[in-house]
Each structure stands twice: as C-alpha cells, then as structure tokens.
Structure 1
C-alpha cells in the first residue's frame, strides 16, 4: 500500500493505492501520515477519439496505454459484438461500445472484461455516392448512403439501436456529393432525439464551417483544408470540439491544421486526442507523432493530458504510472507504463 497522486479526469488528487488479488485498488482518501509514497503519479488509460478498429489488429489494444477508443466508421453489428465482448455484457450496460474481431466467436459466458473500453459511431452516414462509399478500404456494410429524410431517420435509428455513442456523418466535397443543409440538419436533430451527438468528417472549402453551423458537435479531424479566420475560430470554440488527427497529414494540410489548432486551443477550444488509427501505419497505442504534433500546436503537458481524456473511474486492468516530473502535470506522457505490483513494494 502506498500514498499516490492520481488524475480524476479533471485535476490531481491524493489517495491510497494497493494491489488486491492481483488488481489495482485505489481509494480516494487522505493517506495516513508516514505512508510511503509511490514514485510517480497515476492515471487511467488514455483515450483515442478517432480509430477504425476493423482496419487494424485491434487485439493489440489490450497491451497498449489506451484505456478507451472511439471507432468512427465500421460495420455496426461487428462493432456491437466487439463492444459486448469487451464489456462482458450488452452495449446498453455501459455508455461506451465498439467493434469486431476474432473474439466474436467466444461464448458470452466465457467472455472476460478487457482493459480497453470501446465506443462507436457505427456506419459512415453519407450522401448517395459520397465519401467513403467508393473507397476499397471501407469495410463491407460500413457506409449508409442517405438520400432523403426517411432514410436519415432509419440510419440514425439503426446506429442508435446498435449501441452507438455518436453518429458519424461525412461531408467531403473533394471526394463526392455532400448533404444539403436541410438533410444534414435533419440528421443532427434525429440524432439529438436519441441523445447522440454528430461527429462530422469535414473536408473541402467551407465544409468545416458549414457542418458546425448546422449542428455538428464534433469535428472528426481538426480543420485542414483551409485556414479558418479568427472569427470562425471564436465561433467554433463555443459550439464544437475538435479531434486532432494532425499526424496523418503532409504539408500543406499539416501546416494548416496545426495553425488552426494552435489558435483554437489558445482561444479556449476543446481539443481531443485522436489519430485516425487505421489510416496508414501507426502504433496501436499512444502515438508519439500525434503527441509531438499537438505539442507543436502549443499544448503543454496539462493540456495534452486533458486531450488524452484518461479513463476515470479507473479500470483496474489499465491503470498507468507516469514517471516523476517537475509536478504531476509535467510527467512525461510518452513514458507512461502499466502500474505493476513492484511499484508498490516498500
């Protein structure tokens, strides 16, 4: 048993940590005087807010520093099965849900709790012929082409009934048709009726501005097509959050995205760490290139930790130890590793 400083999702607190039956137990209480203190600080596994689990070896997540992922485009029934496997129950038992894999064949009574929570959007919702309906990488049955209001209602209901935590809408005018304002707004309203925010892939001139104006609560990628002016940045600060995905870009898109993020962050905008995992080679883990890009955009250690949204309350299977820094908030996130019994030996 040791005294420990830990992150509760908002700030740093004091508690007592120990291993009981091989699992971490953290008590949110003041440590007794003289209790030895753990070297370093404790946090939950990090969150990647933009992944595509059907495009990667998702079994590697269990050994990573990620405690939660959000799948933003895949086959709904596959994602639902993976979510059930990871939770040991049904998607309705928990606010998060997820994706496919070899574990789908395991009988429910043999499923065990995994270390990574999975939320998912379900299928890409797009206009007929819209992105990514013509992409070879898109998993089978992972795109819903919506032509009218009735189809919009059906698509939202399908994702919600599958256990989705959000609705993913694509608005990529460089790759095909996009929704009219009225149809996009209808999807936003129907999603709101089911308690689900809309996450939009916005690409092409004016698309990031348009979709946020129509009610998208989150951008799946920090805007990279064009530099947003300061007035637009100020408007988006109050109406949407951005998922970073900076490291997937080459110049000039990378420079544009980092400039937008720098000003959005400085203005008080909410940034979320996301990698678009599955979009090219990258670790199924915390991505050093994405962390470096966020630092380039002006995020300090504390802001990075908030963007990574560590899971709290802790899953005992995915508690991380951050090595000592000048202060808890300055511990090096890239040096994070699972907390081990040896860390608590006096």
Structure 2
C-alpha cells in the first residue's frame, strides 16, 4: 500500500497543562511548542516522553506580563506560570529565569484588552536579554497597536495571527521580512467564524502573499479544539491562500526564530526530547491533488517513531 512519510508535524501553540498531552501523538502531532504553563521542573525526561507517548516538547514556561496583566488574573492560569515584570530589571531577571528552567522561547503577553501591558522599555529589555541568550521571543499581541509595538521592539513571532485590527499592507510587508506568525485562526469561533476570524484571515493572507513565514498552531487548551490535527485550522489556512504545499511547510517547519523546535534548542538547560527515536509523520496513501481530499488525507496522519514506521511499511 502506498504511504507518505514526512517530518514530524508541529503544533506551534499549545498549553499542555490544560489538556491531556498523551492524546496528541495518536492525533497526528509529533512536536509541540508549549507557549505558557508547562511546568519546567521536573521536566519530562526523554524516556518518560517516549513511555507516556508524549510528543517532543519545547516550551516557554512562564508568561511574562505587566503586574496585573493578562493572564495573571485568569482562572485557567496554572499556578506559578506567570512572571509579572514592572521594569527593565524585572524583565531581564524573568528572562534569565526562563533560561534556567530550560525554556526554548520567551513568551510575553501584550493583551491591552484584558489589563495592563509592559511598557516600551520593559518590552525592549525583554527582547534584548532573550536575544543575548539566543532565545526567540513570541508575543501575544491583542488590542489596537500592540502588534506594531511588538514588531518595533524586535519580537520574533506572534503567538496568534493579529486579529484585533486590520494591519496596513506596508506594515505586513515589513513584518514578513523577519517575523513568524503562528496561525491559531480557529479559536475565533471554533467553527462559527467571528469578526476576529475574518480580520485574522485577511491579515494572514496578505502576510503569506508578502512571503511571511507561517506556522500551524492551534492554541490548544483554549476552548473546544480537537487534541491532535485540527481540520478547521487546516481549512482556514487553505482559505487564507496557502496551498497544500504551504500547509505542509507550516506543519513540518522549524519553530519560531528559525531554530528547530523542539528537536534542538539554543538552551543547554532544556532536556532535548530527540534522545529517544524522533517521531515522524506517517500518512496512509498518496497525497491527493484535490484540496478537500488533501484535508481528509492529512487528518489521517499518525506520529510514529522510526521503529514503529518499520512495522507499518
């Protein structure tokens, strides 16, 4: 029987503390980037990840935010998963703490719709210290002007496609030169598209057209999302102008900042999950050319080890 083998599929925005992560592998996800809440200590060893059938995991550990800012006061926030930063010194110390905990990226919350956000000096200090350590910075930008602030400060990636406002073409073209956007389109309505879904989809369409790098991500743990490949997210990417080949690239590419996530990391403190046999993606059958059939085919993907692959072929 014909089958297709691809690099391990990545969901670049998950919250493992809010779901059962053992379900991800059977749902076709081989790699994840946890963007806030995953406990850094004790970090899962390679053997534990393999035994538990977890995906390969890279993480941001704590959310960095202003005092009282999002998500410090949300009832879903895991205890100890927020670092509140009031000044540049706090910011540098918080970044150092994420590094010491083994983080592969730094996550900063710029959600002006829900509470205070770090000032420009604090944002700049966060980015500067993270980059000194070789860590990319991922921003949750929500509220008018927050995406522009993040970009001006040198943030490497958006945790969500910007959805609070329609961004001008010139700004999107500039962002496309250096930034990665993680898609997360389906959280805007979970199949019942909202106005934010329309704004995000149009911003993503123009970002992609400008040559920007898009990663598949779902914000798993936020609302009624499937634990595994999300058909609605894939369909939204195709509707935003990505080709099937582009969607595969969004699923199989390296993480934010261009460094592979999570097979390797600039942080020697982080246990590297690929010491166990790296998981890859197995899809029964050949890739169809018709887009609807492509989605059906893609959603049959399984994350398997190379040893498991030998038994399937």
Q: TM-score of the superposition, structure 2-length normalised?
A: 0.83
Alignment of 1:299-318 (within 5 A): 299-309=242-252, 315=277, 317-318=279-280
CA contact under 8 A between 1:73 and 1:123: conserved in structure 2?
yes
Query: RCO higher in 1 or 2 (8 Å CA, sep ≥ 6)?
Result: 2
Whether 1:71 and 2:14 are equivalent positions in the alignment is no
For residue 271 of structure 2, what is the aligned residue in structure 1? none
Structure 1 residue 116 displacement after superposition: 1.4
For residue 325 of structure 1, what is the aligned residue in structure 2? 287
CA contact under 8 A between 1:322 and 1:333: conserved in structure 2?
no
Whose strand fraction is larger, Structure 1's or Structure 2's?
A: 1
Which deviations, in whole Å up to 9, do the C-alpha atoms of 1:175-210 show, x marking residues without a partner? 111111111001000011111011000000011111
2 CA distance for matches of 1:186 and 1:202? 17
Structure 1 residue 336 displacement after superposition: 2.2
SS in 2 for 1:247: coil
Residues paired across the two proteins, number = 282
For residue 213 of structure 1, what is the aligned residue in structure 2? 152
SS in 2 for 1:170: strand
Whether 1:236 and 2:175 are equivalent positions in the alignment is yes
SS in 2 for 1:63: coil
Structure 1 residue 80 displacement after superposition: 4.3
Whether 1:54 and 2:53 are equivalent positions in the alignment is no
CA contact under 8 A between 1:323 and 1:336: conserved in structure 2?
no
For residue 44 of structure 1, what is the aligned residue in structure 2? 7
249, 258, 275: which is aligned to 2:218? 275
For residue 122 of structure 1, what is the aligned residue in structure 2? 61
Structure 1 residue 338 displacement after superposition: 5.4
Gaps of 5+ in 2: 255-259, 264-273
Q: 1:260 to 1:281 in 2, by over 3 A?
A: same
Answer with 1 or 2: which has the greater Rg.
1
CA contact under 8 A between 1:126 and 1:171: conserved in structure 2?
yes
Structure 1 residue 135 displacement after superposition: 0.2
SS in 2 for 1:256: helix
2 CA distance for matches of 1:168 and 1:81? 20
- The ranges of structure 1 where at least 4 consecutive aligned residues each deviate by more than 3 angstroms after the TM superposition are 111-115, 310-319, 329-332, 337-343
Whether 1:293 and 2:236 are equivalent positions in the alignment is yes
Which deviations, in whole Å up to 9, do the C-alpha atoms of 1:30-80 show, x marking residues without a partner? xxxxxxxx61321133100000000001121242311100000115xx234
Whether 1:258 and 2:201 are equivalent positions in the alignment is yes
2 CA distance for matches of 1:168 and 1:115? 22
SS in 1 for 2:2: strand
2 CA distance for matches of 1:209 and 1:71? 24
CA contact under 8 A between 1:80 and 1:163: conserved in structure 2?
no
Gaps of 5+ in 1: 1-37, 89-102, 105-110
What is the root-mean-square deviation of aligned Cα atoms in Å?
2.4
2 CA distance for matches of 1:112 and 1:325? 31
Which deviations, in whole Å up to 9, do the C-alpha atoms of 1:264-296 show, x marking residues without a partner? 111111000000000012221111111111111
Which deviations, in whole Å up to 9, do the C-alpha atoms of 1:203-253 show, x marking residues without a partner? 000111111111110000000001111101101101211000000003110
Q: 1:316 to 1:157 in 2, by over 3 A?
A: closer
Q: TM-score of the superposition, structure 1-length normalised?
A: 0.76
For residue 24 of structure 1, what is the aligned residue in structure 2? none
223, 235, 245: which is aligned to 2:184? 245
